[in-house]
Structure formats: C-alpha cells, structure tokens
A and B are shown apart, each in its own frame.
Chain A
C-alpha cells in the first residue's frame, strides 16, 4: 500500500562507519528516511542492518559519520536520548517488563507526576486508554504484560513509542512470531501510524511483506548500502539478487534420497498437556515435515522424543529397539540430534568459541583419559566451518559475534560430529537470510542422502512443502493427518492444522 510520502527527509545518515575490534561492521553508509514513509531494510544476516539500527537508536555509537534529524545534526548518546529525539525501536525480542502492567510499561521511567511528586495514576490511566483506543487495540491498561500474547505485547510497544511522540519508529522482524491474522492487524496499525506522519524503518526477511507495506526498500550487503528502490515496480528476483549477490533460481533445492527402513518409531507418546498420543515413523533418508499452528504441540513433541521433557507414557524406538529416552544424554547416545528453535537460549553457549560449540556434544568422545585431543577438536571444527560455509574469522572466534544465520549453522554442525541417525530440526531457518537458508537445505539433502532420518518442524509452509518427502500436520497435541509430497498443498496443510475433521474430509 505505497502511499504518498512527503519528500523531506526526517532522518539522514551520511558516511556512517562502525568498527568493532577486528571487524568493519558498517562502511560509509548513506541512508535517508522521509517523513511518513515505510522504509524497508533488507539484507542477509550480517549485512549490517542491526548495527545500523542500533546506531540510530543509540545502543551503539558510530565510529565516524554524521546523523541529522530534521536537518539538525545529532549525536545520540544512549537509547533514552534517542527516545527524547523521537526515535523508538521495537526489537524482535520485545523489551517489556513482564510483571508490570501495560500502563506501567508504557510510562516506565517517565511517569507523569502530581505537583507533590507522586506518580499521577489517573493521568497515566487516561493517557494510556486514549493511546490504546487510538490504536484500535482492545487491551486493558491494568493487565500484566505477562498475560498478553506476542502480538498484543507488540501493540504495547507501539503504544509506548507513540507515548514518547516518536517520529521515527524502527521495527525489527515484527511479524516473525505473529499469526497471519495478527500480521494483518499489525499492517493496519502501521498504515494508521504512518498516516499520522510517523516514519517507519521496517526490517524483515519476508520479502512479500515488503511489497505489501513498504514505500521504499534499501538493500544492504557486507556493511554497505547496495541500492534504494521505490517498491512500486520492483521485483522479488531483483531484491534477492542484490541481497545475495548471486542468482537464486530455486528456493528449495530438494533432492530425493533413497528411502530405507524405519529408523525412529514413536508409539502413542504422551507428555504434559501438549502431546496427547502421537505415533509416527521416520525412515532412513526421509525428510518429514511437521506442520501445525503455534501451540499445536510440535516443539513439545520434539522435546519429548529427545528426552528434554519428561514423558508420561508411550515408547520411542530406534531401529526397533526401545530407547525411550530419559534424558537428552540418552537420546544422543541412541543417535539422535535436536536443532532447537531458540538458538541463543537452547542451542549455543554464547561465551564459547565456534569450535567449542561445534564440538560440545562430541567432546567426550574426542578425549583420551578425560583429556581433550585438541588436534581432533580443531579438525572437527574446521571441517564443520568448511562444510557449512560458516562465516567466521577463525574457529576460535566467540560464537556471539557471528550473524544469526551463521550461528544457526553452528547449532546444526553440533549434530554432524556425533554421527546422528535421527535429526530433529525445530524451525531451522527462522530469522536467517536466504543464502544461509539454501545452505541449510543443501545440508539436509546431503544428510538424507547419507541415510539420516530428518524430522523438520516449520511454520514456513513453502519450506515444509518444498523440502519434505512427507508432511505430518499436528493439531491440539495429535497428528491430524499426513500428506505425501505429491498431494500436499498449502491449503490442505492449513485445513488440517486448523480443523482436522474438515481437513480430512
């Protein structure tokens, strides 16, 4: 919905350079944001988008360059200063205090005071109500943020930004955790606040969203701006080409592998409230997609199979042998690997080097009399870096310094070193760029070709359809149906996910 944006720049950056010790993150970036426009910022992970946004919002300081707000040069000292200047940022991992109420969060640190210096609760309530009504959100100001869903929290963040009278709002991957309906609501809200003259910088990997919502799009690569386009008349192919600097013909390079005998068997598994009697089989060389809505029990099923959460009843077998795991340790010994959904929370030890993360599950087998064989460790890490094209200066670099896509590759590589026969991928490509995605798909093909059985949980339907030999759809803790690669369509999968009875009919 490209609308008429006023042509005068609200925010201009020129010649911005940012160095981290040993790394040049931004190199001479010029960027201009016009009044009342939605400006998409795209690029692979590690292209410099986040760094640029952190400079604008005051989390980092630029090494060199200039920033002007409505023509006046500004030096942003810290995030609070940025807010005072009218710049707010909404991070992917939202930044609210869970045990405070909506209104407390919105006015946190800037509560209106009565003449006596006490917090003016009445004024807070009325201002907050007005803000939420204006946004068309039906949230009560008095409820605790912890009781809200992700989409509602995002609305609270937007309300908070508006309460600070933000003129520039930065949104980092705002739809990554939203359902389609919630995304629609968010887009409506964006259109609304744009009409009030607020300029929005919108970061997303979902290119179709950019075509829906943005007026202009800027492509970044390797710390530089590649191009800025009007979205009207722009093609997806051109954007991707500019992002990855290469032609991408096929998003999902699925290669069929010979399917062998059953490797993983799950029989009537029950665990907690979210896994309520699941049976499935996985064969060697097979990629099985596991689709379903959020909360349908996919991640919980994976965790139960892997022994990460306790099982109430049921069996897990590997090659027909009962190996119902009591712990991840037991599952790993039985030949399973689990690429978790939450990279930073569950996948990586951020203080560790790339090498130490890669070898973590296998380090004991790389030890003699308890002492780590450093040569073997280094060799394994270098092999993983080469095989997965992990972009890192050395194997010794701290993993927290890598971009999201490369971190994800590190998580994956942990399971390659132990010779896993069964791999469970939970949202393997969420939040990572096109190039890294394709590398991960290629790796899946290779593993399947070697006879590994793969269970892939994904919310990205084209990915599920594109990469799976078979698709299982979960609903309310049960398998609602199964579709072969040939018969599966987005509509059929969705129908099963939403309403198993209608879907089966």
Chain B
C-alpha cells in the first residue's frame, strides 16, 4: 500500500534550510561592507595594516531603548575609527546562556576584542575565561562583573566602562527627598535581584534619602526591569499603601509602568515618580508632568567609549581599570538642556 513514505522530512528540512540560507546569505552579504577574503582572516600572517580590526559588542538585549542608544554610539565610533563592528544581543535580557553562546561564537569568529554588557555578573565569567584563553581582550560596559568570582576563576577584563549607579541612586534619593519636603512614604521598584546595577542604584537611593529621616521606604520589590511588571507591582503597592507619596523605580521602563498604574488608580500627579536612565519616553513623561524626574545616563557615550577603548586594547595601549560616564538628574527644569 502506501509504501514509500520516506518523503516526509527531507523536503521540509530542505526548504526551511534553503529559506534560512537565502535570507542569511543576502543579509550577511549586505552587513559586511567589506567582505573579508577567507585567506585574510584565516592566516596568522595577515599584517595588522591589511587587517581591519573586528570588535564584537554583545549587549544585554536590543528591545530596550537604552541599549539601542548604546548601539548607535558604538556604531558611530566604529565608523569614525574604521573598525568592523559586530553587535549581537539575546532576545531576552535574562538569557545569560544565550549571551555566553554569543561570546563563544565570536571567539570562533576570531574577533579582535569583545565588549560585553553582562546579563549576569557572575554567570558571564566562564565566557570571559574562554575569551581570555583565546587571547581576546574583554571590556565590560554598564554592568559590573562579580569581582570576587572573577578573581577566583582568573577572568581578566581590560576595563569597566559605565555610569556610577550608586551615585545615580544617591542623587535620585536626595532629589526626591527634597521634593517631598523631607517626609513621606516611598515605594521602590527594584531591578532583577542579584544584579550589580540594581543593587548599586538601590543602595545609592537609600543613602540619598537617609538624611531625611521622615522619608520612609514602605515597600521594595523587584519588577525585573520590565514595564508590564512595573505596572503590576506598582498596582499592588498602591493597593497595599493607600498613603503612598512617591515611587522610585530603578529604571525608566518600570517607572513608566508605575505611572500607568497610578493613572489607572486615578492618582495621577498625586504620587511622584522618579526613574533611572532618562529614556525618550521618560523625558516626554517628565515634560508632560506625569513623572518627576529621571537619572540620566549616557548609553551612547558608553557605546562609543567601549569601541574606542577596545581598539586601544587591540593596539596594546594602557587603559584605566575603570572609566566613568556621567550621571545627571533630569527634571522639568533642565529637560530642555
């Protein structure tokens, strides 16, 4: 009867693959402005002059405007310096395993330097060790790695480039306490627990409000950096604390979620919201008076400095262990600057 049924899978796989190849083939070609001759990159004898340095920039994710800005800065610097730049990022910010795979793949790609914004402070360390073993310099941007774990594993990084998150949290705390008249109930939306960035911002914020003894933190819960979780957690906080005066969110995504929750509760403009990152959406909210302020970081600067320093590292220059990019409180008064 129907004897020959081996037809099922082959065609399926075949077409999927042809489709994939066609797509990637086309894109691959147009992404590489200057197709590298196989021999040029394969052979060890290629002279540095003929060899355009390739820098891989592995971001946390690209569905957050912060990292999109960072990519813009990095690409601008790459163009200026004549560097071939590869930007890759996992689909989700939590996906550390995927980030590690990307580092591994870039090692296979034999790039000259790798810049990483780690999705996990400790988890990224094995990937750094692998890059070290391959002799590729690693630069860390935005989120610090776990220094102790790095020392234990013998992971070497060239530098850390990022804003001072502790300082940012501190100025946010001072600013908010001032606007509250040094008294009131504050709730905090934390980032992903265990993240160095999240911890630094929270620690700084606590320090910033410490001098105003009548400002109390009545609730502090993680909303994992995400807007929808920010909305949900804030909504619950509003239920639990009807007299809440202000919310500090450790990033703007969560802050914007909190603003929606406040508006849904009919308490718009009664509860002050301070965020972090000063994204475009946040600036707009500040301009419209829905948000009190946000701590500006300069992700584009981090991106461009990252590429600049990576190139310096490739060329063997000495680089500072830590390079700060500035933080600044943005509010209605200085929004236009």
Contact = CB atoms under 8 A, between A and B. Distances in A.
Interface string A372-408: 0000000000000000000011000110011000000
Interface stretch (B1-9, B13-21, B300-308, B313-321): B1-9
Interface size class of B (residues with CB under 8 A): under 10
A115 interface: no
Nearest to A25: B1
A19 to B, nearest CB: 11
Contact of B4 (A22, A392, A393, A397): A22
A399 to B, nearest CB: 10
Contacts of A392: 1
A22 B6 CA distance: 13
A116 interface: no
A21 interface: yes
Nearest to A401: B1
A287 B5 CA distance: 42
Contacts of A402: 1
Nearest to B7: A21
Contacts of A21: 1-5
A273 B1 CA distance: 44
The SS class assigned to the A binding surface is loop
Contacts of A398: 1-2
A344 to B, nearest CB: 16
Interface in A10-40: 20-23
Contacts of B1: 20-23, 392-393, 397-398, 401-402
Chain A CB within 10 Å, residue with most, of B2, B4, B5: B2
A398 B4 CA distance: 11
A20 B3 CA distance: 9
Nearest to A403: B1
Report whether over half of chain B's contact residues are helix, strand or loop; otherwise say mixed. loop
Interface in B1-54: 1-5
A50 to B, nearest CB: 13
B9 to A, nearest CB: 15
Contacts of B5: 21
Contacts of A22: 1-4
Contacts of B4: 21-22
A183 B3 CA distance: 40
A307 B3 CA distance: 37
B66 to A, nearest CB: 50
A310 B196 CA distance: 60
Nearest to A392: B1
B54 to A, nearest CB: 51
Contacts of A20: 1-2
A88 to B, nearest CB: 28
Nearest to A399: B1
Interface in A303-357: none
A21 B2 CA distance: 5
Interface in B72-118: none
A392 B5 CA distance: 17
B173 to A, nearest CB: 62
B229 to A, nearest CB: 40
Q: Taking each of A21, A23, A397, A402, which has the highest tally of chain B beta carbons within 10 Å of its own beta carbon?
A: A21
Contacts of A23: 1-3
A223 to B, nearest CB: 13
Nearest to A22: B3
A393 B3 CA distance: 9
Nearest to A396: B3
A392 B2 CA distance: 11
A13 B122 CA distance: 76
A480 B1 CA distance: 46
Nearest to B3: A22
Nearest to A402: B1
A446 B1 CA distance: 30
A251 B2 CA distance: 33
Interface in A393-451: 393, 397-398, 401-402
Nearest to A397: B1
A397 B5 CA distance: 11
A20 B5 CA distance: 11
Contacts of A401: 1-2
A4 B157 CA distance: 99
A101 B226 CA distance: 48
Nearest to B4: A21
Contacts of B3: 21-23, 393, 397
Nearest to A394: B3
A398 B1 CA distance: 8
A23 B2 CA distance: 7
A466 B2 CA distance: 38
Nearest to B1: A401
A26 to B, nearest CB: 14
A22 B2 CA distance: 6
Q: Choose among B1, B4, B5 the residue with the greatest number of A CB atoms under 10 Å from its CB.
A: B1
Contacts of A397: 1, 3
B77 to A, nearest CB: 59
A393 B1 CA distance: 7
B8 to A, nearest CB: 12
B174 to A, nearest CB: 66
A354 to B, nearest CB: 10
A393 B4 CA distance: 13
A22 B1 CA distance: 5
A175 to B, nearest CB: 29
A20 B2 CA distance: 6
Interface of A: 20-23, 392-393, 397-398, 401-402
Q: Top 5 A-B pairs ranked by shortest CB distance?
A: A401-B1, A22-B3, A21-B4, A23-B1, A21-B2
Interface of B: 1-5
Given A397-B1, A401-B2, A402-B1, 10 more contacts: A20-B2, A21-B3, A21-B5, A22-B2, A22-B3, A23-B1, A23-B2, A392-B1, A393-B3, A398-B1
13 contacts: A20-B2, A21-B1, A21-B2, A21-B3, A21-B5, A22-B2, A22-B4, A23-B2, A23-B3, A393-B3, A398-B2, A401-B2, A402-B1
